[in-house]
Chain A
Amino acid sequence: MLRDLGATLASHPFFEQFEPQHVDFLVSCSANRVFQTDEFLFREGATADAFYLVREGKVAIETVSPSAGPLTLATVGRGDVLGWSWIVPPFVHRSDCRALERTRTVAIDAACLRDKLESDHELGYRVLTKVVEIMARRISSARIQLLDLYGNEPD
């Protein structure tokens, strides 16, 4: 069972460039979790108790406005990861996350993961570099989205 989970972790794009012993080291923090359509992975304000690697499916990162209802900020799917709240104090989710279809994930327990990264700084560095890469891409994309490039703004 744990060996299978190790293989699952190792095959996820997040861990593509990682040393096998580093991936193995994290297996004990990990668990498979499946979310049904419209099930929330987490809610805004909740403690970020897991780092999710999406294996299959699609999830929406949402926020809610009293007048407009839920607004999708971004969607992530197979091969993506969910969020950085688990490593950024105070470890609280800043948005809702809802499965748009049946979604299979590996959930890595946040406290367990933080302990492991603390105990092995080289692994910590690898994980943080990867998280920063993903954050950078998402921030760049978000900035471009803010430009509203496809809009029709005659001047």
Chain B
Amino acid sequence: MNPTEAIATTEASGDTVPSPWVVRAAWRELSDTTSLEIAPADGSTPRFQPGQFSMLYMPGIGDIPVSVSAYSDDGKALVHTVREVGAVSAALCAMKAGDWLGVRGPFGNGWPVDAAADRDLIVIAGGLGLAPVRPAIQQAIDDSGRGGKTVVFYGSRSPSALLFRDDLLQWAVSGVAEVRTTVDRAEPGWRGNVGLVTSILDRAAFDAESAVAFVCGPEVMMRFAVFDLLSRGLSADRIFLSLERNMHCGIGLCGHCQLGPKFICTDGPVFPYSEISDLLTVRGL
């Protein structure tokens, strides 16, 4: 009967039990990737930090972590971008406007957009890794008082697998961000860059001494990008990575997403490279 003083009493609702949400719109981004604009069924206004993820729950199938890829235009819904990989993601990709799902979260810490307030922001994204970092880019370019420039390097498998092409084009054309894209495999007629995302980093102009970098994509690609950023002179504590592990509970209780002492779901998913550099190269950690 004498629980330790460690026991506190508050709990945010929707963290351990999903709330019902409704799909307002669903659209295909790529052949295997769908965006869902979803809103709480009770009409409340959702909040999130760029880089956070939600646990999306499909009754009868299960729940998976999916990062928030945007606010809806009216700010009343969150967009989640899902790639078909397993049973839950396939069911999510098949959703239509009006369908219901369960949502827990959002969870995690998010990108430190403020750290780039007066510095150049370098974003390096690969594949679906553009989704978790898109809201951070948007927030940075929406901040009219910001000092530094925003440079987005984005690599995908092929021209037809480039995600969020409208955004990339709009940022580039309006001049709010420098956007450079590259693909691993060209398709006929492609006149853009071909090569690893780091190959387009080489000649880009930015203030490496002070720049802040957000890196998001497959871990191998992120390690390569970090290597290049460090070579360019970026400081390890200003390079941020978003990591992925087997997130189940989202609140640091189920134990699945540990990387050394870190719980990816609560300590991350975004970490400064300086905090995790010794963990990333240990096999099977």
Contacts and interface: CB of A to CB of B under 8 A. Distances in A.
B162 to A, nearest CB: 10
A141 B198 contact: yes
Contacts of A58: 193
B119 to A, nearest CB: 24
Interface in A68-86: 68-75, 77-80
A29 B235 CA distance: 41
B127 A149 contact: yes
Contacts of B6: none
B224 A72 contact: no
A100 B198 CA distance: 20
A77, A79, A101 pick with most chain B CB within 10 angstroms:
A77
Given A74-B194, A75-B193, A151-B157, A144 B186 contact: no
B99 interface: no
A150 B198 contact: no
A103 to B, nearest CB: 13
A36 interface: no
Interface residues of B, number: 33
Interface stretch (B47-55, B57-65, B213-221, B249-257): B213-221
A122 B152 CA distance: 40
A4 interface: no
A72 B190 contact: yes
Contacts of A78: 203
Interface stretch (B17-25, B78-86, B104-112, B139-147): B78-86
Interface string A50-94: 000000001010000000111111110111100000000000000
Contact of A154 (B86, B128, B155): B86
Contacts of A60: 186, 191, 194
B84 A152 contact: yes
Contacts of A152: 32, 83-85
A90 to B, nearest CB: 27
B130 to A, nearest CB: 10
B203 A150 contact: no
Interface residues of A, number: 31
Contacts of A101: 191
A37 to B, nearest CB: 9
Interface string B148-181: 0000000111000100000000000000000000
Interface in A125-155: 137-138, 140-142, 144-145, 147-152, 154
B157 A80 contact: no
Given A78-B203, A144-B220, A150 B195 contact: no
A141 B32 contact: no
Contacts of B217: 149-150
Contacts of B203: 13, 77-80
Contacts of B184: 145, 148-150
Closest 4 CB pairs of A and B: A150-B127, A72-B186, A141-B196, A149-B218
Interface of B: 32, 83-86, 126-128, 155-157, 161, 182, 184-186, 188, 190-196, 198-199, 202-203, 217-218, 220-221, 224
Given A72-B186, A144-B221, A145-B195, 15 more contacts: A58-B193, A60-B194, A73-B194, A75-B195, A77-B193, A138-B199, A141-B199, A142-B196, A144-B196, A149-B184, A149-B218, A149-B220, A150-B161, A150-B217, A154-B86
